[in-house]
Structure 1
């Protein structure tokens, strides 16, 4: 297991050293668990993850403005139907719980 000093150095390279802000206040068991979890992270991957999360958070919520223009319904041949399938297949779906009596 990596020491607190090693973990802190790795987190500093990722710009995430604040994750250990309250580490000293933890009891030994939880502290060791935290250090083990953080010690397993790759600094470059963590930095990239945090960068992408911050970028995603900066965008307004909801779908992108051009999404409605790109959405199209599926063609009928790509859509299945429980009411049009053969009785054997319908029985298999019912056994799995994928089809109930109200869907027919």
Structure 2
């Protein structure tokens, strides 16, 4: 009787092994589901980034407003007959004015 119980317990363990640790086991499925969720999060982030870049490209192609804004803020360009005022915060020093290069005769 004891031998039959041990044999049935061993058989039960052999049957459970593929369920938990096999190729299609629960642990593997849980791991794959976590990977799919991480990939979906990454895709959502990339889609929002792509939408932002697409919007920016459309603005640059269609109008001059976006180009002008970039020129003003990134390159510090100003229009003709415009006055540029820079307000310095505490601890900032006044930038050196650019000196014109001498022209060759």
TM-score, normalised to structure 1's length? 0.27
TM-score, with structure 2 as normaliser: 0.27
| Higher radius of gyration, 1 or 2 | 2
Task: Flag the structure with more relative contact order, 1 or 2, with Cα contacts below 8 A and sequence separation at least 6.
Answer: 1
